[in-house]
Every structure is written in C-alpha cells, then in structure tokens.
Amino acid sequence: MRPARGPPCAGRRGNCKLSLDHAAKAGDFDTRMKPLIGISCCVKPFGVFGTPNHAASESYVRVALGPVGGIPVLLPAAGEALVPEILPRLDGLILTGSRSNVRPDHYEGPPHAEGTPEDHARDATTLPLIRAAIAAGLPLLAICRGFQELNVALGGSLDQRIQDLPGRLDHSTPADQRFARVRVAKAHSVRLVPESPIAQLAGGVVDLPVNSLHNQGIARLAPRLIAEGWAPDGTVEAVRVRDARGFALGVQWHPEYDWESDPVSRSLFEAFGKACQAWADRRTHRAAAE
C-alpha cells in the first residue's frame, strides 16, 4: 500500500514559495471580489419568548445573490453607532420593505393610529445610514418602507393611510400574503418620466404595471429627491436622488418579489449590481495601493 501523499510542497519550503508566487503571477486565482450588499434588518419577536431578532426577508438575500451578483450582509438595527463602522465595508445598500412604519416624529407628523407597527431601532439605524451612504456615493436602492425612509431621511414627510385620503387608491397590503400571486400581482400602473433611469431600464416604457403594496406614501417630497414615477392617483412611486454621486434610486413597489419573471425588475437589480461591482472594484484597488 502506497503511503498517503501530502501537499505537493510538503517539507520543501523554497519550492512551495516559488509555486505560490508563480500561481499568483500567472493569474490562476480570480481576485475580483463580489460586492458586499448591505440589507437593512427589522427587529421582530421570535419564538415562544418573543425574543427580539434582527431579520430581513429571504427575498432580499436571494436577489442579492441572484441578479445583483453580490454577497448579502444583513445589517442589524443597532443604531447610529453602526453607520461609520459598517459603511466603509459595503459596496451597496438595499433598504428593504417591512410591515412597520417610520415613526412620525422623524417628519413632524401626527402620532400613528393605535396598533400601527413601528420599529424605532430600525429608524435609528437606517435614517443616518441613508444620509451617510448618499454623502459617500455608495450605490443605494430603496424599496417600499426603504423608499419612505429615503424620503424622510432627506427631509420629506409621509401620508400615513393613503386609502383614507379623498380621491386616492387603496394601495394597502392585504393581511394575508400566503399566496404568491398577492405579492407579484400588478396592483396598478406607474407613469414614468420619459428617459428617466427607470424608464430606460424598462426599455422606454412610460406606463409600467407594478406590484405596489403599501399603506403609507410620500406626502412632501424631500428637497433632494426627484419624482420620476406616479400611480394613477398621483402617489409618488419612483424617485432618484438629485445630484447623487452614484446609483441612488427608490421604488414604492416590490421588484424583489418578481425579478425571476419580470424583466424590468431584473434589469433594475442588474443595474444596481453593476454599480455595486464597480464600487467594489474601486475599493479593492484602493486597498491594494495602500
């Protein structure tokens, strides 16, 4: 019986060093790093004791691994102190949807109706994170609650129950979302600004059907945001950040639910992923130069 062979260079330090050096010089290893995609978490009770957990829907993890082409990094709702520690390590930021709502005192609004879900820890994390990400030029994609957070973080306000306002559609989320078709069904169309970034991703379409599910929406648009899509009742459903240093878009609907079947949703995430990869490449080159 032949003895088991060890590593090719076992006991031969000189040769092993030459082999490793040669491999690196020959480019045998792919040194391009996939972008790290921060995904905002909510605080939710879990288990029989209702232990607080920091969580995000699997749909955001899957989309980060899929069309975005990155590595998902779940960001705990740990408060403003997290921001300077985590931001330099990220290559992109997804602000997720949630059943909870931004606390009204962040935009000088009236108190929520009793029973309205809030997430104070998430607000304390995402609002300063948004401002820091935009200042840095970090690629950012805001979805549903994240879309509303983007508006509030930059000085805008929210309507708390759109369905109660005169002349407005009922955009509210059904209580039962067990059936997938509830999440992916097109609730209404969005009128896009021609030649806007999202209209370009939609192939020039300016009337885009979307799966929009939300109770709250933009009331006063933040000064730094430009509205680029509206529901039939005038509700703002798509924005971009004015004079942004990088990719910075927000949508009120849920592209993370239907990117496997909807080409516009996929294109949105692919464009975001391309911006994140470019950021990651620059970050890698800076680190190598230091």
Question: Mind telling me the catalytic residues?
Answer: 144, 254, 256
Only one residue has tokens 């080159």, namely: 285
**What are the residues facing 181 on neighbouring strands?**
none
Q: In the chain, how long is the greatest CA-to-CA distance?
A: 86
CA distance 256 to 84: 27
CA distance 104 to 268: 30
Secondary structure of 131-154 in HEC code, one letter for each residue:
HHHHHHCCCEEEECHHHHHHHHHC
CA distance 210 to 19: 55
Q: Are 24 and 275 in contact (CB under 8 A)?
A: no
Q: Are 182 and 234 in contact (CB under 8 A)?
A: no
Task: Write out the two tokens for 142.
Answer: 């805001």
Only one residue has tokens 């949630």, namely: 98
Strand pairing class (51-55; 42-46):
antiparallel
